[in-house]
Amino acid sequence: MKLKKSSRFPNSAQRREQPEPDENNRPLPWFVIMLLGAMATWGAFYIYTTPSGENSQWGDQRTISALRAKPAPPAGAKLDGGLIYAAKCVACHQATGGGVPGVFPPLAGSEWVIGSQIRLVQILLHGVNGPMVVKGNTYNGNMPAFNTLADEEIAAVATYLRTQWGNSAPEVLASFVAEQRKATQSRNTPWAGGAELEKLP
């Protein structure tokens, strides 16, 4: 009579087999756990200590009074061309007046800014669409017209351009802008680049 071998004593075939694979337990390294804990602690501390409400020093530095609408300047008061520039021009020509190389021309040291007042005012009134050479570099873009601005506003921003970033040129008067607006009131298209603008005085 043949006796059955006990499972406690496996045969040679069973001994050849490898155990079934399983996933080992691999915990996060201790320094990663400490880093996450430190970040969570700092975040909680920052939220707890950061005040909210009317204290603007934790925001974008604007006060409540700065957010209130400014009253209109009295009649005859000189407009701030810098504010107009910040609202209408700074996105393309930048706060430094340096423009964006190859895309938007610079205004600092530009012959179109510190040269003929007529050309500068006409650019602001009607815009430009086409190639222009500025400080030796050619720009081929499209500048919008700002003829919806009042004469005083165009004069203020033109004067700002001519006196900033090292520019030194006489101011532009609102009366001069009014003359230029009247002289080209029939025009409803932008100037065709520098070639057409150079024909102006």
List of domains in the chain:
79-197 (1.10.760.10)
Helices (H) and strands (E) in the chain, counts: 10, 2
Asked whether the beta carbons of 42 and 36 are under 8 A apart, the reply is no
pLDDT in tens, 177-199: 999 999 999 999 999 999 999 99
Give the pair of three-digit tokens for residue 127.
């815009």
User: 53-67, 86-100, 136-150, 178-192 — which is least confidently predicted?
Assistant: 53-67
* Least confident piece of the model among 64-68, 112-116, 149-153: 64-68
For 21-25, 104-108, 138-142, 150-154, which range has the lowest pLDDT when averaged over its residues?
21-25
Q: Any idea of the CA torsion for 19, 23, 29, 32, to the nearest 10 degrees?
A: 170
Task: Report the pLDDT value the prediction gives residue 136, as an integer from 0 to 100.
Answer: 93
User: What's the sign of the alpha-carbon dihedral 180, 185, 186, 192?
Assistant: positive
The answer to whether residue 56 scores a pLDDT higher than 50 is: no
The pTM for the full model equals 0.62
Dist. CA 141–CA 105, nearest whole Å: 9
Whole-number pLDDT of residue 35: 93
Task: Check whether 173 has a pLDDT greater than 90.
Answer: yes
Better pLDDT: 22 or 183? 183
Task: Provide the mean pLDDT of the chain.
Answer: 84
The 10s digit of each residue's pLDDT in 125-171 is: 999 999 999 999 999 989 999 999 999 999 999 999 999 999 999 99
- C-beta of residue 162 within 8 angstroms of C-beta of residue 170: yes
Please state the rounded mean pLDDT for residues 6-28.
67
Q: Helix 117-126 to helix 174-183 angle, to the nearest 10 degrees?
A: 70
